[in-house]
Amino acid sequence: MQNKKTIITYGTYDMLHIGHMNLLERAKALGDYLIVGVTDENYDRSRGKLNVSQSTADRVKAIEALDFVDMVIVEKHKNQKAEDMVKYDVDIFAIGDDWVGAFDYLNEYTHVEYLPRTEGISSTKLRKENFDIIKMGIVGLGRDTQAFIDESGFVSSIKVNRIYANDFLELKAFTKEHKTIKYGHDNYDEFLDTSIEAVYIDTALEQHYTLIKRALEAGKHVLCENPLALDKGELKELLSLAKREKKLLLSALKTAFLPAFNQLLQELGTGVIGDIKEVRATRTSLYKEKDYADTFIQQGATNILSSYPSLLVNKILGKSKNITFFDQEEEGYDINNLIVTQHKNGALGISNVAIGMKSEGDAVISGTKGYAYIPAPWWLTKTFEFRFEDSHKSHTYKYEFEGCGLRYMIAEFSSLIQRGKRKSKMLSPSDMVGINRVLLEYNDSKKNKNKKEEEA
């Protein structure tokens, strides 16, 4: 008997359609055994495919259900195709002719065949037909406003066309300069009364709570810069309000949505470095007074920056039990803070944040078998390495990183709204509460210290 002929093909297969089915049938007809590689969501996002509507698991399930497909695998990174050719002893790599030439380099491993694509249908087209574009407004003229506008241009499901700011002159200058932002409002109620469905808040930190509350009460989904709230109880109150109003409230902690960051968490979950005993992360930034208002700097390093290391620590080790602060103060606010948190089974989180000192912004996750190293700036995760005592076993993961990273967060925010979801797996309400807890405890400890000093 002749050897079976193995065919392999890859794709996203979002909202499985007749074009996909035709292609897969054509591919199967080339041989006996058809392997389909479905792209992982983190890989898709890292190669700029930001608007996929179904999760990897749902897309895999849909392909598995097809009679003529024999095996489904998940494609996680760029070099995997060549590895798969060898691993599965592939005879033909088949792909639609929209890719002509793009995979010729694989001829080194197998025979590459470009098959005719079905005209008039695509996942992009189906997404456009099935999902409405979300109208969004910006609240404030903050540090990331410009970047947010630029990056939202890469997310096809969202349209940013309004802005609210309380400084009329600044607002006028801004709308004059930005042709896509057609409408400027200096009255928040009027702004909220328009047809926008969602807002992005980027204002002074102490205004966040009130602005979020009013937006949720007006029935808008909210994406807000960190931290969402500076006082105890406020974040939980806002999350309950969002739940009651059936709206999405998401913290704009961009690291949480980066493809490489999510891939790192996935890999750690497989136990690659054993039991995790310690997570260390540093985030420092030298804010210049000329660039940032005094009131911003006076919020101190912990309020401004701790959400980032707290994200890494909480995502890996879960909720913190005890929190200890070793802070350095100048002119009444912390310029440097070493935050030590204790977690389940005694694991330690060590976060260093500073605005009055510069340090190496890397992160190390230590386990019983080895450790993960994320080079600076770890919060813009592009690459990470698993290192072991036997250095031959060490391996590095590298991901593409487009723009300043905001587009991944904007894509997740809009995709959740479109799918009627009110929680992100990448940054759940309980993640947000855990992250916020660190700075709340710090603010509390500072208040108590000041009170004691006044009484003494």
Note the residues at the interface with ligand CTP (CB under 6 A).
Answer: 11-14, 19-20, 23, 95-96, 98, 117-118, 121-124
Please report how close the Cβ of residue 124 comes to ligand CTP at its closest, in angstroms.
3
Please report how close the Cβ of residue 81 comes to ligand CTP at its closest, in angstroms.
13
Please report how close the Cβ of residue 11 comes to ligand CTP at its closest, in angstroms.
3
C-alpha–C-alpha distance, residues 330 and 209, integer Å: 27
Beta carbon nearer to ligand CTP, 96 or 356: 96
Beta carbon nearer to ligand CTP, 63 or 323: 63
Indicate the helix (H) or strand (E) that contains 322.
strand 322-330
Instruction: Check: CB of residue 337 under 8 Å from CB of residue 352.
Output: yes
C-alpha–C-alpha distance, residues 257 and 77, integer Å: 17
Instruction: Check: CB of residue 401 under 8 Å from CB of residue 46.
Output: yes
Please report how close the Cβ of residue 441 comes to ligand CTP at its closest, in angstroms.
45
Tell the burial category of 453 from Cβ atoms under 10 Å away from its Cβ (0-12, 13-18, 19+).
exposed
Please report how close the Cβ of residue 424 comes to ligand CTP at its closest, in angstroms.
21
Beta carbon nearer to ligand CTP, 11 or 140: 11
Indicate the helix (H) or strand (E) that contains 433.
helix 429-455
Residue number of the CB closest to ligand CTP reads: 96
Task: Give the E-state strand segments of 19-143 in sequence order.
Answer: 33-39, 71-75, 92-96, 111-115, 134-139
Please report how close the Cβ of residue 114 comes to ligand CTP at its closest, in angstroms.
9
Beta carbon nearer to ligand CTP, 80 or 352: 80
Please report how close the Cβ of residue 403 comes to ligand CTP at its closest, in angstroms.
20
Q: Give the Cα-Cα-Cα angle 440, 441, 447 (nearest 5 degrees).
A: 90
Beta carbon nearer to ligand CTP, 123 or 152: 123
C-alpha–C-alpha distance, residues 62 and 72, integer Å: 10
Beta carbon nearer to ligand CTP, 109 or 114: 114
C-alpha–C-alpha distance, residues 88 and 7, integer Å: 9
Beta carbon nearer to ligand CTP, 336 or 415: 415
The radius of gyration of the chain from alpha carbons, rounded to an integer in Å, stands at 25
